[in-house]
Amino acid sequence: MRTLEQITIYRLRVPLAQPYRLAFGAVEHYDTMVVEIMNRDGACGLGEATILTGYTNETIEESWRAARQLAPELPNDDEREARGKLTEFAENYPFTATAFGTALEMLNGSRLLSVSHKTRVPLVGLLNAAEEDAMRAEFEQLLAAGYGTIKVKVGFDATQDARVISSVQKLANGRARIRIDANQGYSAEQGMAFVRALDPRDIELFEQPCAAGDWESHLAVAKVSPVPLMLDESIYGIADIEKAAALNTAAYIKVKLMKFVTLEALVEAIQRIRALGMRPVLGNGVACDLGCWMEGCIAAEYIDNAGEMNGFLKARAPLFSRRLEVHDGALWLEPGFPPRLDVANVKRYLVDTVTCMPRTATRAAS
Check whether 366 has a pLDDT greater than 60: no
The DSSP output letter for 3 is P
Check whether 1 has a pLDDT greater than 80: no
Go through the domains of the chain in sequence order and give each one's CATH number: 4-112+343-356 (3.30.390.10), 119-261+268-333 (3.20.20.120)
Residue pLDDT, tens place only, 9-20: 999 999 999 988
Check whether 227 has a pLDDT greater than 90: yes
Of residues 304 and 366, more confidence is placed in 304
Looking at residue 301, what is its pLDDT? 97
* Mean pLDDT (whole number) for 331-348: 95
Confidence of residue 365 (pLDDT cuts 50, 70, 90): very low
What is the strand order of the sheet 119-122 is part of? 119-122, 330-333, 325-327
Exposed, middle or buried: residue 81 (CB in 10 Å: 0-12, 13-18, 19+)? middle
Looking at residue 212, what is its pLDDT? 92
Q: What pTM does this model have?
A: 0.95
Measured in degrees and rounded to the nearest 5, phi and psi for residue 157 equal -140, 120
Looking at residue 141, what is its pLDDT? 97
Confidence of residue 55 (pLDDT cuts 50, 70, 90): confident
% of residues, the chain, pLDDT over 90:
89
Looking at residue 204, what is its pLDDT? 98
Confidence of residue 56 (pLDDT cuts 50, 70, 90): confident
Residue pLDDT, tens place only, 279-329: 999 999 999 999 999 999 999 999 999 999 999 999 999 999 999 999 999
The DSSP output letter for 22 is -
* Mean pLDDT (whole number) for 13-36: 90
Measured in degrees and rounded to the nearest 5, phi and psi for residue 229 equal -95, 150
Residue-wise over 299-319: b if at least 16 C-beta within 10 A, else e? bbeebebbbbbbbbbbbeebb
Q: How far apart are CA 249 and CA 44, in angstroms?
A: 42
Check whether 221 has a pLDDT greater than 90: yes
Confidence of residue 130 (pLDDT cuts 50, 70, 90): confident
% of residues, the chain, pLDDT over 70:
98
Confidence of residue 170 (pLDDT cuts 50, 70, 90): very high
Q: Which helix (H) or strand (E) holds 247?
A: helix 238-247
Looking at residue 31, what is its pLDDT? 97
Closest by CA to 1, choosing from 101, 105, 96, 98, is: 105
